[in-house]
């Protein structure tokens, strides 16, 4: 189990958690070896995607348990209300995910969940993905994220596994990747509910 902070690239064989998804995008690729995740903070414009998706592609395809392709790709965010897309927002949601899919050679179905449909009062969510290896999918759960409570209790510590937990910073043509230093180590999972994504592609 690992947590994917803002602009972090993370691998875990079984579970990934994304703290504080509001205007951000939780992106997860399911492979035969586990889950690869990216917490895309901002970067809603098409011009932003090549550098970030390039870093994502580099992380996934060069990882010892990575490679090209995959079994399922997910994107969970608030596409219509908080993500900051312009134009037809649903189309931009899919276009962003397609950009990330392309960098890892993934050509299969793309699934998404609009957190606005969850009725979470806080307007920000903790999103949790659990790998279902026999199906090549994930169970997606979420609950409200409160800055007044969760960010105080958010347990952070040293990165104990830098090969599986990286961070990015802006650069061209590909965002720079380095080892994450201080990472989230624990998040409460009380009151989690399961949500079912829709197929976007």
Full DSSP string of the chain: -EE--TTEEEEESSEEEEEEESSSEEEEEEETTEEEEEEE-S--SGGGHHHHHHHHHHHHHHSTT--S--SEEEEEE-TTTTS---SSHHHHHHHHHHHHHHHTT--S-EEEEEGGGGT-TTS-EEEEEEEETTTTEEEEEEEE--TTTHHHH-EEEE-S-GGGEEEEE--SSS-EEEE--EEEEE---TT-EEE--EE--
The boundaries of the domain holding residue 190 are: 2-199
Total domains in the chain come to 1
Write the pLDDT tens digit of every residue in 132-174: 999 999 999 999 987 767 765 667 889 999 999 999 998 889 9
Write the pLDDT tens digit of every residue in 26-67: 999 999 999 999 999 999 999 999 999 999 999 999 999 999
Report pTM: 0.96
């Amino acid at each position: 189990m690992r947590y994917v902070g803002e602009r972090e690239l993370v691998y875990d064989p079984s579970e990934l958690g994304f703290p504080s998804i509001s205007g951000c995008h939780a992106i997860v690729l399911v492979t035969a070896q586990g889950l690869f995740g990216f917490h895309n903070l901002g970067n809603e414009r098409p011009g932003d995607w090549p550098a970030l998706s390039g870093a994502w592609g580099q992380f996934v395809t060069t990882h010892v348990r990575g490679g090209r392709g995959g079994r399922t790709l997910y994107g969970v965010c608030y596409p219509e209300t908080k993500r900051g897309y312009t134009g037809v927002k649903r189309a931009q949601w899919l276009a962003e995910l397609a950009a990330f899919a392309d960098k890892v050679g993934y050509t299969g179905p793309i699934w998404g969940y609009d957190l606005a449909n969850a009725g979470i009062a806080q307007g920000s969510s903790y999103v949790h993905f659990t790998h279902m290896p026999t199906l090549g999918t994930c169970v997606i759960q979420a609950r409200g994220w409160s800055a007044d409570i969760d960010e105080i209790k958010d347990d952070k510590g040293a990165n104990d596994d830098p090969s599986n937990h990286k961070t990015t910073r802006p650069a061209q043509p590909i965002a720079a990747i380095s080892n994450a230093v201080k990472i989230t180590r624990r998040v409460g999972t009380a009151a989690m509910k399961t949500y079912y994504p829709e197929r976007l592609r």
